[in-house]
Amino acid sequence: MLVVGLTGGVASGKSTVASLFASDGVPVIDTDLIARELVTPGQPALAEIAARFGPDALSTDGTLNRPWLRQRIFADEAARKVLESILHPRIRAEVQRRLEALRLQTPPPAYALVVIPLLVETGAYDALLDRVLVVDLPEDLQLQRLMTRDGVEEPLARAMLAAQASREARLARADDVINNRGAPDDLMEQVERLHRLYAGLAA
Ligand code: ADP
């Protein structure tokens, strides 16, 4: 089974692209979804966050207090590193578990897609991946889509982009590129071409 890592900047179109592969029957493992599942009540990661950050990290209903935590780590590099040290190893372990489960299927899928927003920034997934697919678009367009989707003002949107790997760094890591500057319909053709490529490589 071939393992393809899918990455791209915030609001580049990763989820949109992943759902097109999924509709082709390709198994998709999404590290953002795993991260959310890991901090639901009862999970050890949530207990560890509460232990390290104090009771303010939890809302009164026992769920993660996301706005508080976001604020807490925004200006504090050390706090962000603590949070990452709790979450990142667990996310990676869960990705490995899910890949293993797919390999044990009879027959295993030809390939699987793992969506990893910080693939280039962390490098932590390199050993698990056979190929890297980057969703690419010019930064002005990315900025527009981010502001529209998340309803954020331009200064915050720019700060979010600046906190990530540059477009060039991402492209330098790419084996394959999906160009998402056009209409959503343009994505389908590119996904179909890559779907055939990956199925062929796996065979
Ligand atoms: P990501 O998962 O990388 O953060 P999304 O898939 O959520 O990005 O896409 C970001 C936003 O841009 C979403 O609102 C999505 O509907 C929109 N979008 C994605 N691709 C296109 C496109 N080709 N044209 C216009 N809007 C798009």
User: Which residues have C-beta atoms less than 6 Å from ligand 1?
Assistant: 8, 10-16, 145, 149, 180, 182-184
- Write the Ramachandran bin of 42: left for phi over 0, alpha for psi from -120 to 50, otherwise beta: left
The pLDDT assigned to 78 comes to 95
Q: Which of 31, 113, 145 to mutate to test the pocket of ligand 1 (most atoms within 8 A of CB)?
A: 145
Distance (Å, whole) CA 76 – CA 78: 6
pLDDT in tens, 44-71: 999 999 999 999 999 999 999 999 998 8
Distance (Å, whole) CA 81 – CA 184: 36
Q: Check whether 26 has a pLDDT greater than 80.
A: yes
The pLDDT assigned to 203 comes to 85
Q: pTM, whole model, 2 decimals?
A: 0.94
- Cα within 13 Å of Cα(57), Cβ side: 19
Q: What is the CATH number of the domain that holds 115?
A: 3.40.50.300
pLDDT in tens, 97-150: 999 999 999 999 999 999 999 999 999 999 999 999 999 999 999 999 999 999
Closest CA to 181 of 149, 145, 127: 145
Q: How many domains does the chain fold into?
A: 1
Q: Which of 16, 133, 167, 186 to mutate to test the pocket of ligand 1 (most atoms within 8 A of CB)?
A: 16
pLDDT in tens, 152-200: 999 999 999 998 999 999 999 999 999 999 999 999 999 999 999 999 9
Distance (Å, whole) CA 146 – CA 99: 30
- The boundaries of the domain holding residue 103 are 2-202
* Residue 109 DSSP symbol: P
**Confidence tier at 74 by pLDDT (50, 70, 90):** confident
Determine the atom of ligand 1 nearest the C-alpha atom of 8.
Answer: 3
Determine the atom of ligand 1 nearest the C-alpha atom of 186.
Answer: 23
Query: Ligand 1: which residue has its CA nearest to atom 18?
Result: 13
φ, ψ (nearest 5 deg) of residue 138: -65, 150
Determine the atom of ligand 1 nearest the C-alpha atom of 137.
Answer: 23
The pLDDT assigned to 175 comes to 98
Query: In the block, which residue shows the tokens 């809302």?
Result: 59
Alpha-carbon torsion angle 132, 175, 191, 146, nearest 10: 60
Q: Check whether 75 has a pLDDT greater than 90.
A: no
Q: Check whether 96 has a pLDDT greater than 80.
A: yes
